[in-house]
Structure 1
Amino acid sequence: MKGHLLAASELMQLKDYPAAEPHIGHPAEELYGDLEPTLIQKGVPPFKQQLNTLLDLIQSAPTSPQTEAAFKEAHEGIDKALEAIPEQERLDSRFVVAVIRQLLDTAGSEYAASITNGRFAETVEYQDSRGFVRYADQLYQKIAPELQARDPELNAKVKNALEGLLPVWPDPMPPAQPLKTPAQVQALIQSI
Structure 2
Amino acid sequence: MQRRKIWAGLSSAVLVATPAVSQAAALPAHPHAVEAKADHGLLQLAQAQHKGHAAQPAKAKPADDGEGEGGGGTTLSPSLHFYRGLELIRGHLLVGGELIESGRWAESLPHFLHPEEEIYNSLREDLKSLNIAPFQVALKALSQTVKAKNKEAYVRARVALVERLDAAEKLVQEKEKDKVHFVLEAALETLQQSTDEYGEAFKKGRIANVVEYQDARGFVFEADRLIGTITEALNAKNAEAVKALRASLDDLKATFPTVMPPEKVVKDHGQFLSSVAKFELQLGNFR
Above 0.5 in TM-score?
Answer: yes
After TM superposition, list the pairs within 5 Å mapping 1:100-119 onto structure 2.
Answer: 100-119=187-206
Distance between the aligned counterparts of 1:21 and 1:50, measured in 2?
15
Distance between the aligned counterparts of 1:24 and 1:123, measured in 2?
15
Among 77, 98, 102, the residue aligned to 1:10: 98
Distance between the aligned counterparts of 1:87 and 1:175, measured in 2?
42
Aligned length: 191
CA drift of 1:97 comes to 0.9
CA drift of 1:134 comes to 0.6
Structure 1 gaps of 5+ residues are none
**8 Å CA contact 1:54, 1:70 repeated in 2:** yes
TM-score, normalised on structure 2? 0.63
CA drift of 1:65 comes to 1.3
Percent of matched pairs sharing the same residue? 30
CA drift of 1:99 comes to 0.7
Q: Relative to structure 1, is the Cα distance of residues 187 and 181 closer, same or farther in structure 2, using a 3 angstrom cutoff?
A: same
Amino acid at match of 1:102: E
CA drift of 1:88 comes to 7.8
Query: Where does residue 138 of structure 1 map in the other structure?
Result: 225
**8 Å CA contact 1:118, 1:177 repeated in 2:** no
Q: Relative to structure 1, is the Cα distance of residues 180 and 125 closer, same or farther in structure 2, using a 3 angstrom cutoff?
A: same
Larger Rg: 2
Distance between the aligned counterparts of 1:173 and 1:31, measured in 2?
23
After TM superposition, list the pairs within 5 Å mapping 1:84-123 onto structure 2.
Answer: 84-87=171-174, 89=176, 92-123=179-210
Q: Deviations over 1:80-124 (max 9, x none)?
A: 221232248487221111111111111111111111111110000
Structure with higher RCO (Cα < 8 A, 6+ apart): 2
Q: Relative to structure 1, is the Cα distance of residues 133 and 90 closer, same or farther in structure 2, using a 3 angstrom cutoff?
A: farther
TM-score, normalised on structure 1? 0.92
Among 110, 128, 132, the residue aligned to 1:40: 128
After TM superposition, list the pairs within 5 Å mapping 1:35-184 onto structure 2.
Answer: 35-59=123-147, 61-87=148-174, 89=176, 92-152=179-239, 155-184=242-271
Q: Relative to structure 1, is the Cα distance of residues 88 and 48 closer, same or farther in structure 2, using a 3 angstrom cutoff?
A: closer
Structure with greater helix share of residues: 1
Distance between the aligned counterparts of 1:70 and 1:5, measured in 2?
12
